[in-house]
Homo-oligomer: A and B are copies of this chain.
Amino acid sequence: MSEKTTIYDIAKALNITAATVSRALNNNPKISQATKKLVLETAAKMNYKQNKLALALKSGRSNTVGVIVPYIDRNFFSSIIRGIEEELYPLGYHVIICQTHEEEGTEIDNINALLNAQVDGILMSVSKHTTQLDHFDHVLKKGVPLVFFDRKKDIKGVSTVTIDDFEGGYTATKHLIEQGCKRIAHLSGDRSLEIYKHRYEGYKKALEDFGLKVNKDHVVQCKNDIAAGHKAIDKFMKLDHRPDAIFSSSDFLALGAIQQLKKNGIKIPEEFCVVGFSNEPFTKFMELSISSVDQSPVLMGNTAAKVFLEQVKDSNVKIEKKVVLSPKLKIRKSSSRS
């Protein structure tokens, strides 16, 4: 058989209409199981390759949206994805997801895989190690809408949905000051990333506004994991001037710090207060629950999806929208002295 078998060939062979063949191939519920079986078997026998792309190009859409995140298993990102799905599923869109593990190379591969899958749009959070912008240009040149959420690059024509990380850092630090803490340390992620830079700036500004000074020994830039939290406390313990509180830009760091503080016999929150960032579920589950800055990830996902929908609604209009959401501090045991 020729490779160019069409649905018309199959229709002819079975003496049914091409529309029925097409519906059967697309698993349309209106077509009986018996017919589907017959069509699929005949299509296989005739070596038919369904060109969904042709259909997609004809209608101009595949009804599939690609989402790229650094890690699918961080509650923050999985909640954003839920928010995107909430908006897009009812409209008949499918959502396919890729993770970068913070690798630029994987991010480029993911983008190519999604473009090859003919997605109608890409909603993504940029990997920590991304320095190039070519792959984003590639998306835009192909006319595929691109929306950044949380972690963004400033690119003309790309809409972004972020939270006000400065405000998050400011609110958390102000809260610690109000609890009576005087020597507030900051555990920060890589500040070449805007989100961490802004959280740090919010921290600094709150200290300034309340007449406190930033002690360089109290600001530690580290990885986002529990072990790094342990290490930071070990470092603080050796100082003459020890901190009495931590605003951490990550919940995992905050958890590590709390574990190590306890090992050192330091009472939380009486002697030391801790606030994390992201509101990971475990912060709430702990017996000593951890205060944390909530980033409204489901709302962020909803918003990113809405921004995308506005863009596909009228492809003749270029929309560049910058949405900034407000974070919310969740005060829990790790910083409640009252």
Contact = CB atoms under 8 A, between A and B. Distances in A.
Contact of A98 (B71, B94, B288): B94
Given A96-B96, A106-B89, A118-B117, A255 B285 contact: yes
B134 A33 contact: yes
Contacts of A113: 63-64, 94, 96
B73 A75 contact: yes
A221 to B, nearest CB: 24
B287 A117 contact: no
State the copy count for this chain: 2
Contacts of A66: 96
Contact of A114 (B26, B96, B106, B108): B96
A137 B106 CA distance: 32
Chain A, interface size: which category?
35 or more
A98 B98 contact: no
A52 interface: yes
A12 interface: no
A335 interface: no
Given A96-B117, A97-B99, A117-B118, A27 B110 contact: no
Interface in A45-104: 49-53, 56-57, 62-64, 66, 71-73, 75, 78-79, 81, 85, 89, 94-99, 101
A116 B285 contact: no
A1 to B, nearest CB: 14
Contacts of A110: 94
A270 interface: no
A156 interface: no
Q: In the A-B complex, list the 3 residue pairs whose CB atoms are closest, starting with the nearest.
A: A73-B78, A117-B117, A94-B113
Given A27-B112, A27-B138, A96-B96, 6 more contacts: A33-B134, A41-B141, A72-B73, A72-B81, A94-B98, A95-B98
